[in-house]
Chains A and B, each alone.
Chain A
Amino acid sequence: MRQPEPSHRPLLAVGGLVFAGAVGTWLLLRRAAPKDEPKQVAAARALGAGAAILAFSVATDSALEHYRGSFENKAMFIAPAVSTITIAAAALTLLRPGTGRTAKGLVFAAATATGAAGVGFHVYDIARREGGFDLLNLFYHAPLGAPAAISLAGIFGLLSQRFERGETRLFGADGARLIAPFTAAALLGTVAEAGLLHFRGAFQNPAMVAPVTIPPVAAAALAASAIAPRLVPAARLLLEGTAVLGIAGPAFHAYGIHRNMGGWRNWSQMILQGPPLPAPPAFLGIAIVGLAMLPLLEGSA
């Protein structure tokens, strides 16, 4: 016999939020980029958008998680601070490509370095705990890969600056053909983190399978498109699916909090213990960058 199930009515609200979020994001991005602008400027904007969304996800997630860790170490303020500044710099690229180049360059470089240092800190934090690199600590303590998302935002930012300057080549090769597999790898990293945490939740809700099925295929298609541009349409569809997941995630997670003891009334516990609200938009940020590379790949064939 199945266990009695709670009312599914709140899922209607989840569906509504996702729909509104997806349409809203699409409209915003359309409005930000005029139709007739050169491909590389559009790519710069998209890289900026991706960087901004990623930075937003990291800023809120690290602020919450480091608050959970009571900012035990002063260095724990760095991640939310740097990623917040990164949001501003990346948003500038999205809205006004070509402005404030030096300042942005510094911010993106700082973000890249912060992420690398963060990974180091997190590795150290896990290593010193009872159980070491056991699943117990990987489930419940400093996530090893999460700080890399700040670096990723920084790198997307730095790349956006190259496109702003009209440089579409990278290390002597066609930029998009390098950025595509790099973005695919980043997507797989995010999948790994979501997969680990959804595994911790025993995939108790069927929707929890989505982020470990669609995005990996999207990553594969994106990477493959760099070599075989005929795969671009498939990659586009899959990346759009990934983007929708990034929008749907927080809505599902909000529903997850509602399903916990005390629901939203118990928010002071559940924004920390329930499913993380700010984490899923990372998928959206990466997907936008991937989507922006597709026209360039098509063109390079």
Chain B
Amino acid sequence: MSDAFRTPYADYDVLAKWDTPSWNDRTREVVRRRLEEVPGRRFLTEEEWRLLEAVTARLIPQPEREAPVPIVPWIDEMLFENRGPGFRYADMPPLRDAWRQGLAGIAGEARDRHGGDFESLPPAQQDEILTDVQHNCTDRRWWGDLPAGGFFLHLLLHETVAIYYSHPAAWSEIGYGGPASPRGYVRLGFDARDPWEAEERDV
């Protein structure tokens, strides 16, 4: 898997619209907090935090960024506030237990297979472990009753991806219009683009 990232929207920055009618006060308040008030560790242990940093760096690699979009702080905040999605699958433990167990599972797989911490493994081996977790090829000893694949898809990947694609940097790289109120859009048809939308270029 190549780690080079290319986007057809390289010169688009959704934040350039900050002071235009596309953004209102409420949206600015919400996004400003996301950019400037990244929370510290309150729920995870230091080891869990480090492990999760390494895991999310494989789920959403950001090699081209000096300061990657933060993901773990928001997972920690969600767990600290115990803020679930409004349901849990009958075969899954409650939210916090599931995350603790899942992280312990990944750590266990790494120690068992390579005799070390997940975070110190080379990327290829990390990806191998994560792929096995995704496909339930895991050792029951580290996972207990937690379905590894379910944890990977419904909690770990689901949350990581939602956090990353809630960041303006991610909006920009996929050419997403981002906040739009009071100004929405005029040109709605095929290949129709308003001047305040991202322009696609060949890469």
Contacts and interface: CB of A to CB of B under 8 A. Distances in A.
Give yes or no for direct A-B contact (beta carbon below 8 Å): yes
Given A70-B192, A70-B193, A266 B183 contact: yes
Given A266-B21, A268-B196, A261 B182 contact: yes
Given A70-B192, A70-B193, A265 B186 contact: no
Contacts of B187: 68, 70
Interface residues of B, number: 13
Interface in B173-189: 181-187
Contacts, number: 28
Given A70-B192, A70-B193, A266 B186 contact: no
Interface residues of A, number: 10
Contacts of A261: 181-182, 184
A248 B137 CA distance: 74
A262 interface: yes
Interface in A263-298: 265-266, 268-269, 272-273
A65 B51 CA distance: 56
A268 B195 CA distance: 9
Nearest to B20: A268
A265 B192 contact: no
Contact of B21 (A70, A269, A272): A269
Interface string B34-73: 0000000000000000000000000000000000000000
Nearest to A261: B182
Nearest to B182: A262
A70 B188 CA distance: 12
A68 B184 CA distance: 14
Interface string A49-84: 000000000000000000010100000000000000
B182 A266 contact: yes
Interface string B13-30: 000000001000000000
Ranked nearest first, the 3 interchain pairs of A and B with the lowest CB-CB distance are A262-B182, A272-B186, A261-B182
6 contacts: A262-B183, A265-B21, A266-B182, A268-B196, A269-B21, A269-B185
